[in-house]
Amino acid sequence: MRFKKYIEELKRRNVFKAAIAYVIMAWVVIQVSSIVLSGFDAPTYIFKLIVFVICIAFPFWLVFAWIYDITPEGIKKTEDSAKKRHTPPRTQNRLNMVIIVSLLIVVAFLLYNQSGSSINKKKNSEKNENTIENREKSIVVLPFLNLSKDNNQDYLAEGITDAINVALSKKDSVRVISRTSAMTYKDESKLLSDIAKELEVDYLLEGSILSDADSVRIMVQLIKSFPRENHIWSRSYKEKFEDILQLVDRVSTEIADEITAVVQPNQLKTHKYKVNAKAYELYLRGRYLMNLETYKSVNSAIKYLNESIKLDSSYAPAYATLAESYISLNKFYSNHDEKENHSKNARMAIEQALVLDNSLGAAYIIKGKIAGKCDWNWDEMKNLAEKGLKFDPNNANGHMLLSNYYLVTNELNKAIGEALFAEKLDPLNPMIGSMVAERYYLAHNYEKAIAQYKKVLELFPNYGFAWEGLGYVQYFLGQKEEAINSWKMLQEIMGNDSTAINFTFAGNAEQSFRLWLSKAKSKSLSYTSNPTVLAQVHMFLNEKEEALDWLEKAYEIHEDELPMMLQRPNFHELHKEHRFKELVRKTDIILNK
């Protein structure tokens, strides 16, 4: 009886109606807030705060409804049931009106939301149809065959392949597979249909060269692979050797026109060159050697490129390739002064390239690489990468630079997105594939990181950097035996047999690490002496002070990979250390928590 009496009193005081009105209005406020705040890109905590306040206020509203009535004369204390048995009709009418109006608002909102959803679905459907109809066109320029009697003409075949690839890359409406991935098919006997499927391209360009003492003949054919294989056209060109640059320009222009005939052509104007024939030949030799990426080949490339420039100082790509060679050379040196000298030479070369041709996209991207690696100037790196990509939208290195920018600014989703796009442009480049895996690791997506590293190693089982990166992820996840095996593979690839054997002691990781550290710190040419790697190994041994010592050493010698390495989960335990915070401040990065 007492319980029934309480219910009657709650009804009399309109507590139930007040609760219903509150819940309805709260729902409306939450929905409107969600739309408004998202429209202004407001922080998520504001919306959470609104919901929290609404929830906390609900019991206070019920107490208010119990104690007070809203009357024509204002808010008054509810009279005791002994004194007044009936609630004023106007109070009940007001609450009824609030509930009715609130429900009408809810219905209107739901109808609006439903109609908006239908419109969005229709737009998305139309967008998808347009995407299918205007399918992205893509092409791979396969390595040209050298049919000349002189096998030393390989540099010429590869140089012409590279030049055509660069010319095509300037078309922003065509996705062009990077040379690194294309060159993996050199001397391969795969079917063209299989190559097209592996690279996911619509067109393939294959060709050959035949040269003699004073002339060169280029034979090319364009093949469409989608939806079925179809030979579009074939051409044969012959010019005197002294006109080879004009020949390459004519071939690449015709091919580009064929590819872009069905899509919007690139409106950017590109520079037309005229260069001394012997200087161009030396440039092709230099570029060929630079792409081999060995200590000896890069030094030889610099020699040929300087000779080319000495003969003809008007060819911008020669200066750009020279700058790229100097930066590439730095990875073979640990001496800070030598690296500074190479960087200085790279800066002078790239500035001259841009003076000669301010539309050379690769030059802006190389300059951006210098700004990132040598200066840790992230904003400049980003600006130069974006400028370069306007002229050369298919440059995978440009997209990797943007990925690096988003990495140091802790925008990991964007960093992964740019890396994936670079991988799409250069799908058979193990370095880019490994960098995609590294970004998954930094974003704490460990399963994807491991899967990506393994995908790289399936194609390139002797790619040491992938084994190294895989080991870091495995060890961080507590998979110590798997990590030791990965690093054992790395040591075997590097030729460090004694260390590789000791890495088989998976049950005693500490012993293996200490042996490795003793070898690495000996600065033997057979072992790495990269300070950031030494710091990570000290972290595995829980030696934080020693790890900080080596990170500071990396800063002293301006180890160019230090800013990226500081983001690694291996160093999370150092985030609160003052010395680590100083390194973060000096390198101007934003840490991923």
Quick: pLDDT tens for 492-530. 887 766 665 566 554 567 877 888 788 777 764 334 458
Which residue has 């990166």 as its token pair? 469
Share of the chain above pLDDT 90, in %: 37
Same-domain status, 6 and 115: yes
What are the pLDDT digits (tens) for 272-327? 567 787 888 899 899 989 988 888 999 999 999 999 999 999 999 999 999 999 99
Same-domain status, 159 and 177: yes
Q: 3-state DSSP call for residue 141?
A: strand
Residue 49: pLDDT over 70? yes
Task: Give the residue-averaged pLDDT of 583-591.
Answer: 94
| List of residues 6+ apart from 434 with CB closer than 8 A | 452, 453, 456, 463, 465, 466, 469
The length of the chain is 593
| Domain C-terminal end among 91, 107, 128 | 128
Residue 24: pLDDT over 50? yes
Domain annotation covers residue 483? no
Task: Give the residue-averaged pLDDT of 356-373.
Answer: 94
Residue 565: pLDDT over 80? yes
- Say how far apart CA 521 and CA 528 lie, in whole Å: 8
Q: What pLDDT is stored for residue 227 in this prediction?
A: 64
| Domain C-terminal end among 265, 282, 309 | 265
Residue 74: pLDDT over 80? no
Q: What pLDDT is stored for residue 588 in this prediction?
A: 94
Same-domain status, 90 and 193: no
Q: Structure tokens of 202?
A: 């619509």
Residue 24: domain span: 2-128
Which of the four pLDDT bands, split at 50, 70 and 90, describes residue 146? confident
Task: Give the residue-averaged pLDDT of 126-133.
Answer: 39
Average predicted confidence (pLDDT) for the chain: 80
Which of the four pLDDT bands, split at 50, 70 and 90, describes residue 124? very low
Domain annotation covers residue 75? yes
Which of the four pLDDT bands, split at 50, 70 and 90, describes residue 51? confident
- Check residue 276 and give left, alpha or beta (phi > 0: left; psi -120 to 50: alpha): beta
Q: What pLDDT is stored for residue 381 in this prediction?
A: 97
Total domains in the fold of the chain: 2
Domain annotation covers residue 199? yes
Residue 592: pLDDT over 80? no
Same-domain status, 8 and 72: yes
Beta bridge mates, 206: 221
What are the pLDDT digits (tens) for 319-351? 999 999 999 998 887 677 888 899 999 999 999
Task: Give the residue-averaged pLDDT of 221-236.
Answer: 77
Three-point CA angle 453, 454, 460, nearest 5°: 90
Least confident interval from 94-103, 127-136, 171-180, 566-575: 127-136
Q: What pLDDT is stored for residue 58 in this prediction?
A: 77
Terminal-residue alpha carbon distance, the chain: 59
- Say how far apart CA 65 and CA 56 lie, in whole Å: 15
80 or 26: which leads in pLDDT:
26
Task: Give the residue-averaged pLDDT of 93-97.
Answer: 58
Domain annotation covers residue 110? yes
Same-domain status, 170 and 225: yes
3-state secondary structure 283-334: HHHHHHHHCCCCHHHHHHHHHHHHHHHHHCCCCHHHHHHHHHHHHHHHHHCC
**Most confidently modeled of 78-82, 111-115, 534-538?**
534-538
CB atoms within 10 A of CB 413: 10
- Say how far apart CA 144 and CA 159 lie, in whole Å: 9
Same-domain status, 253 and 171: yes
pTM of the model: 0.66
Same-domain status, 79 and 14: yes
Q: What pLDDT is stored for residue 497 in this prediction?
A: 63
Q: What pLDDT is stored for residue 306 in this prediction?
A: 96
Q: Taking the CA atoms of 41, 564, 574 and 412 in sequence, report the sign of the dihedral they define.
A: positive
- Check residue 86 and give left, alpha or beta (phi > 0: left; psi -120 to 50: alpha): beta
Q: 3-state DSSP call for residue 70?
A: strand
- Say how far apart CA 555 and CA 265 lie, in whole Å: 46
Q: What pLDDT is stored for residue 60 in this prediction?
A: 78
Q: How many CA atoms lie within 13 A of 87 on its CB side?
A: 26
Same-domain status, 71 and 117: yes
Residue 539: pLDDT over 90? yes
Domain annotation covers residue 455? no
Task: Give the residue-averaged pLDDT of 262-273.
Answer: 48
| Domain C-terminal end among 99, 128, 157 | 128
Least confident interval from 6-20, 76-90, 122-136, 184-198: 122-136
Q: What pLDDT is stored for residue 217 in this prediction?
A: 83
Same-domain status, 240 and 258: yes
Residue spans of alpha helices (H) in 134-237: 154-169, 179-182, 192-199
Q: How far is CA 168 from CA 219, 343, 467, in A?
A: 17, 30, 34
Residue spans of alpha helices (H) in 460-508: 464-476, 480-494, 497-502
Q: Structure tokens of 270?
A: 């590109």
Amino acid letter for position 436: V
CB atoms within 10 A of CB 512: 21
Domain annotation covers residue 573? no
448 or 75: which leads in pLDDT:
448
Residue 390: pLDDT over 70? yes
Same-domain status, 91 and 200: no
Same-domain status, 64 and 102: yes
Residue 127: pLDDT over 60? no
Least confident interval from 89-93, 352-356, 512-516: 89-93
3-state secondary structure 453-473: HHHHHHHCCCCHHHHHHHHHH
| List of residues 6+ apart from 80 with CB closer than 8 A | none
- Say how far apart CA 413 and CA 469 lie, in whole Å: 20
**Most confidently modeled of 141-155, 162-176, 378-392?**
378-392
Which of the four pLDDT bands, split at 50, 70 and 90, describes residue 137? confident
What are the pLDDT digits (tens) for 168-207? 777 666 788 888 888 888 877 788 888 888 888 888 888 8
381 or 110: which leads in pLDDT:
381
Residue 34: pLDDT over 70? no
- Say how far apart CA 402 and CA 414 lie, in whole Å: 9
Domain annotation covers residue 113? yes
Q: How far is CA 169 from CA 82, 256, 374, 558, in A?
A: 89, 9, 27, 33
* DSSP H or E segment with residue 451: helix 446-459
Residue 367: pLDDT over 60? yes
Residue 55: pLDDT over 50? yes
Same-domain status, 109 and 175: no
Buried residues in 440-462 as b, exposed as e (16+ CB within 10 A): bbbbebbeebbebbebbbeebee
Domain annotation covers residue 440? no
Q: What is the CATH number of the domain that holds 180?
A: 3.40.50.10610
What are the pLDDT digits (tens) for 406-435? 999 999 999 999 999 999 999 989 999 999
Helix and strand numbers (H, E) in the chain are: 26, 8
Q: Structure tokens of 580?
A: 């680590």
DSSP 241: G
